[in-house]
Amino acid sequence: EEAPIVIIGAGVAGLTLATFLHTAGIRCVVLERRDRAYVETRQRAGVVDAQNVRMFERWDLADRLLSGPVAQTIEYRVNGVGRVFEILGDEASEGRFCTQQMLVTNLLRVLIDEIGGDVRFGVSEITIRNEDAVRPQVGYRDAGGAHAIDCDYIAGCDADRGVSRASIPDGVLTTITHEFGYAWLAALVEAPVTGHPIMGISDHGFVAQLPRGPKRSRYYLQCALTDGPEDWPDERIWDEIRLRTGDSALENVEIHDKDFVPLRSVMRFPMQHNRLFLAGDAAHLVPPTGAKGMNLALFDVDMLAQALVSALCDGEVAALAGYSDTVLPRLWRYQEFSAWMTDTMHDAGNPALHGPFRQMTARARLDELFSSPVAGRLHSDFQRGVA
């Protein structure tokens, strides 16, 4: 079998790339180890930022994939006292509310059901041939046995633990990692955000409440790296939410799931080797504080799709050769923003974390967002993804 492009991974990066390529008239095969129901129901955070709304508009897919307007405010709350930050921008630069799970479900519908895209679920044992001067080949297994696809290019969109990056020989990639030293407990609850999305700083640690649809929201609570579900029964979660938000009247409601996420940054580059190109979490991770992981994956995919279209439709390979160099400067800027958010939100809370000096300077940094128009503007630009 032959296909111009094989994409490994049907997450937000792989499905968006496949949809863009199909839109441009390029055939591709997507290989995913899970089944469709699993991919559609996998709980994932993330809201499409304004920059990526513009991107979907450019590919003429925004109305088929995205939902209505998103909150243009964030309440920064310190020990129960909130200040509402207005994300500055004009109407033409607003984000739209579409969680990652909604986006993935819509991508599957458009790609498979509407434009006949080729997504093969439930595959295993993917092997990658990607040597210099040999035509690339991707092998895999499914219920029907072993298969192989000869292709021109391979896109590795199978996140941090996938096979794509692992297939690159030792010594080719540089990896830079930063550990923040704490984790988040993510709890999906049966209660909507009633006011503004909250980023809460407190002497007892960080808390956030972010919208996840009309009836639900997700709370994030700073916790120890070693914590697990046994340390956080539901009663303790609600006690800590009341303590950290300063909202003592808040009532317990049902908690649907609990997840523990270590906060870390990872960059791996170059994001390409011979004919294999990495996009999204396969190449980089950001701490969730800045809400940028999915948005950076979408940026990679936009650049990669344009470069693949140039190579396959016009025989012009310069953009593909320069893919990694093109995306890396922006990825580093958003790593810096994510680290800024993470340090500020956590240091400004409990002084036991990094001491009273870091606490007070972090609070001063937060104040600047409200007192300095320049700082407020820059923060808005990062929030909207246009910095």
Interface with ligand FAD by CB under 6 A: which residues? 8-14, 31-34, 39, 44-47, 100, 126, 157-159, 162-163, 186, 261, 280-282, 288, 291-295, 297
CB atoms within 10 A of CB 366: 21
How far apart (Å, rounded) are the C-alpha atoms in residues 346 and 214?
28
- Kindly tell me which of 222 and 295 has the beta carbon lying closer to ligand FAD: 295
Q: Is 160 helix (H, G, I), strand (E, B) or coil?
A: coil
Q: Taking CB positions, which residue lies at the least distance from ligand FAD? A: 11
Both tokens assigned to 84:
């509402």
**Torsion over CA: 95, 96, 100, 106 (sign):** negative
Residues 6+ apart with CB under 8 A from 105: 40
H helix or E strand, kind and range, residue 258 = strand 255-269
Q: How far is the CB of 210 from ligand FAD (least distance, A)?
A: 7
| Minimum CB distance to ligand FAD smaller for 136 or for 288 | 288
With respect to ligand FAD, which residue has the nearer C-beta, 100 or 130?
100
Min. distance of Cβ 6 from ligand FAD in angstroms? 11
- The whole-angstrom separation of Cα 118 and Cα 120 is 6
Q: How far is the CB of 248 from ligand FAD (least distance, A)?
A: 26
Looking at the Cβ atoms of 261 and 351, the one nearer to ligand FAD is: 261
* Residues with Cβ within 8 Å of residue 380, at least 6 apart in sequence: 86, 87, 88, 89
Alpha-carbon distance of 32 to 137, in angstroms, equals 16
Query: Least distance from C-beta 46 to ligand FAD, angstroms?
Result: 3
CA dihedral 225, 230, 235, 240 (to 10 degrees): -10
Least distance from ligand FAD to the Cβ atom of residue 329, Å: 19
In terms of CB distance, is 283 or 366 closer to ligand FAD? 283
Nearer CB in complex with ligand FAD: 46/349: 46
For residue 249, the minimal CB distance to ligand FAD (Å) is 27
Helices of type H across the chain: 12-23, 36-41, 50-58, 62-65, 100-108, 234-245, 293-314, 318-321, 323-347, 355-371, 373-384
- Minimum distance of ligand FAD from residue 232's CB (angstroms): 15
Closer residue to ligand FAD, CB minimum distance, 13 or 201: 13
